[in-house]
Structure 1
Amino acid sequence: MSDKRVTDRRGAAPRSTRITPETATQRLGRLLDLVPWVLRHEGVSVEETAREFGISPAQVESDLELLFLCGTPGYTHAELIDAQWDDGHIYLANADDIAAPMRLTRDEAVTLTAGLQALSSILVNSEVAERTLAKLRAATTAGDPGGGRIALDLDDGSQHAVMAQLKQALADHRRVHLTYYVATRDETTERDVDLMRIVNLDGQWYVEGWCHRANAVRFFRVDRVAAATVLDQDGTPPPEARPRELDDEVFVPSDSDLTVVIEARPDAAWIADYYPNEGIERAPGASVRVTLKVADPALVRRLILRLGGEARVVSPPELIEAVADEARAALAHYGAGGTAR
């Protein structure tokens, strides 16, 4: 998408109209925070709101336009949220039902506490996690004395040795040798890695580092590391190694990734919200065309085969043919009578 520059309807200075692709879940979370924040800052400018939420002014206006369609059952003018920003300042009305900022329920507080305890147990430098955990415990015990402590046993024995080696390598700045299972190719590989960090995303532990096999920064799922050995070599990553900006996603597209366009019928249109993408085109009949950036085309081949006839690759041509070849190979495993061999 090009970064166009336009003058808005109020004659203000030109500004970016770029809207960063995101999932419906990510946008919903922001909207639930946006409404109470704007209500507490009545008359705040579109630009200041954009800075507060880390988005473009165009995305702020798109969010406000969506709020026009939100409200309580009945969905007449009296129930829908009223948003005004014609003079460049935002005013909301009829939004009392979501005026309060989201607060943690007891179950959410317990889950967050458990997660922070897990994080503290695994990080080499855990001061920030410990301070956050202390604040959460203080807030929890204020209404429920004794409720801020959770007995948590995270070690089932399966990954303890691997994680211990990874932590040691990271703390001592040593290179580590990994025996790593690559699920997309169903093969086990050997590689030397200079570690950069250990992170937990969506309930999975990952290690990020400079992989000398790929000569690039790579993410490795810890539960797919069969063995880790700390080497007697300096493990400082090269100057060109840069940690990726993760936000909420493990996958971050790069310039070297393959651009793929998938056409999905209504029953498979969920992929537009489920997978981070570069753009969505709505087609007649509730079908969608989704543009994705992928590092490994095998992921797309498997997705298309799993969806059957509900989705197809539109481009690039070489991936279209690869999917067709894989489908023919799968059919070859079936006999003339349709019985699997």
Structure 2
Amino acid sequence: MAGATQETATARLARLLTMVPWLLNRQGIDVQQAADDLGVSVEQLEADLQLLFLCGYGQMPDELIEADWEGGKVFVGNADTIARPLRLGVDEAVTLMVGLRTLREVPGLDERDAVERALAKLEDAAGSAGAPASRVRAEVDDGTSAELLTRARQAIATRRRVHLRYLVPARDESTERDVDPMRVVGDDGRWYLEGWCHRAEDTRLFRMDRVEELTVLDVDGTPPEGARERDLADGTFRPGPDDLVVTVRLLPGATWIADYYPVESSTDVPAADGGGLTVQIRTADTAWLRRLVWRMGGRAVVLDPPEVVAEVVGGAGDALAAYPASAGEG
């Protein structure tokens, strides 16, 4: 459907885990009433119930959840496992306690009391079995100041627009932009501010360690109706339809680039041909890629497209020309 937004798998899973025990305790509830109470359309509820037929603790028919709503009333069965209170193993409890301790240290966290209460309950239930958690310390620290994180969270809570001065390393410049903030999220050891960027007229993720200045404006910061948070299950990088695909040969000693940067494809080069990898990298700006290739000192070579090859060769030539002829003489 045109204009429709696709729900993330994470959001749907959270709703299903809530919906199943709720329906188990309301057997025979009217379909329309159930949809209204759950805050979804009848069509969405029926789609969720159809999905439940494929869910369970095994693959046999008697191991899958049963759902019936053909008569206008909803009945759910064979889902007692989901309805029972969650029981954590020792490893699971320790992992959760470590996570809560890490969350407790997040700068500007508004829900610290709730985290403390949950942690206290877990520690009491785990007893001595939870002792290993006290010896583990995990941090999400990318150099972002606590003040910036606090200001960003306050802007979200009060629905205020923010003005950012944001560093774009690929162009080695700072940009000014107004953003309607949606959330602050941690991913892969970094903090990000996600919001509707009025400069790009789209949802954007901003690395907080690249925010040079954040000013909360006295302007309503409610994002447009069509703005949606990204599903970060596959990471923060999102290629654009107009991005350029660059083919790069990585010689031994430079193959780490394929692990550190998002590549679309990677092909091993036979040892007889020198070894290494041939990768394709999609990017909207080749400036950072050119600098990366120059830094590798010949261990990374751009093969395609021709215009990027020319940019790399030309830049390297200009750099060599900048050195006086006598610089290499003893």
RMSD: 4.1
Q: Secondary structure at the match of 1:337?
A: helix
Say whether the 8 Å CA contact 2:163–2:217 is kept in structure 1. Answer: yes
* 1:312–1:152 CA distance, 2 compared to 1 (3 A): closer
Name the CA distance, whole Å, in 2 between partners of 1:196 and 1:262: 37
Q: Secondary structure at the match of 1:319?
A: helix
Name the CA distance, whole Å, in 2 between partners of 1:162 and 1:208: 14
Q: Secondary structure at the match of 2:327?
A: coil
Say whether the 8 Å CA contact 1:113–1:136 is kept in structure 2. Answer: no
Q: Secondary structure at the match of 1:230?
A: strand
How far apart are 1:199 and its partner, in Å? 1.0
Matches within 5 A, 1:1-341: 103=91, 112-119=99-106, 121-123=107-109, 133=119, 137=123, 141-143=127-129, 148=134, 159-247=145-233, 249-285=235-271, 286-338=275-327
Asked which structure has the greater CA Rg, the reply is 2
- 316-325 or 304-313, larger mean C-alpha shift: 316-325
* 1:266–1:243 CA distance, 2 compared to 1 (3 A): same
Name the CA distance, whole Å, in 2 between partners of 1:267 and 1:105: 41
Provide, for residues 195-251 of structure 1, a one-character-per-residue CA deviation record: whole Å limited to 9, x for no partner: 121111222211111211222222222222222111122212223433222225222
Name the CA distance, whole Å, in 1 between partners of 2:112 and 2:289: 38
Q: Secondary structure at the match of 1:268?
A: coil
Name the CA distance, whole Å, in 2 between partners of 1:329 and 1:138: 67
Say whether the 8 Å CA contact 1:269–1:288 is kept in structure 2. Answer: yes
Amino acid at match of 1:303: L
Say whether the 8 Å CA contact 2:254–2:299 is kept in structure 1. Answer: yes
Q: TM-score, normalised by structure 1?
A: 0.59
* 1:127–1:135 CA distance, 2 compared to 1 (3 A): same
Say whether the 8 Å CA contact 1:266–1:287 is kept in structure 2. Answer: yes
Moved over 6 A (4+): 125-132, 149-155
Identical positions, percent: 43
* 1:266–1:153 CA distance, 2 compared to 1 (3 A): closer
* 1:239–1:117 CA distance, 2 compared to 1 (3 A): same
Say whether the 8 Å CA contact 1:175–1:236 is kept in structure 2. Answer: yes
Name the CA distance, whole Å, in 2 between partners of 1:194 and 1:135: 37
- 164-173 or 314-323, larger mean C-alpha shift: 314-323
Say whether the 8 Å CA contact 1:138–1:148 is kept in structure 2. Answer: no
* 1:109–1:333 CA distance, 2 compared to 1 (3 A): farther
How far apart are 1:166 and its partner, in Å? 0.9
Provide, for residues 54-103 of structure 1, a one-character-per-residue CA deviation record: whole Å limited to 9, x for no partner: xxxxxxxxxxxxxxxxxxxxxxxxxxxxxxxxxxxxxxxxxxxxxxx994
Provide, for residues 259-302 of structure 1, a one-character-per-residue CA deviation record: whole Å limited to 9, x for no partner: 22111112222222332321112222232111122233222112
* 1:103–1:315 CA distance, 2 compared to 1 (3 A): farther
Name the CA distance, whole Å, in 1 between partners of 2:90 and 2:307: 47
Q: Secondary structure at the match of 1:254?
A: coil
Aligned residues: 244
Name the CA distance, whole Å, in 1 between partners of 2:264 and 2:202: 23
Provide, for residues 32-69 of structure 1, a one-character-per-residue CA deviation record: whole Å limited to 9, x for no partner: xxxxxxxxxxx979xxxxxxxxxxxxxxxxxxxxxxxx
* 1:312–1:179 CA distance, 2 compared to 1 (3 A): same
* 1:152–1:267 CA distance, 2 compared to 1 (3 A): closer
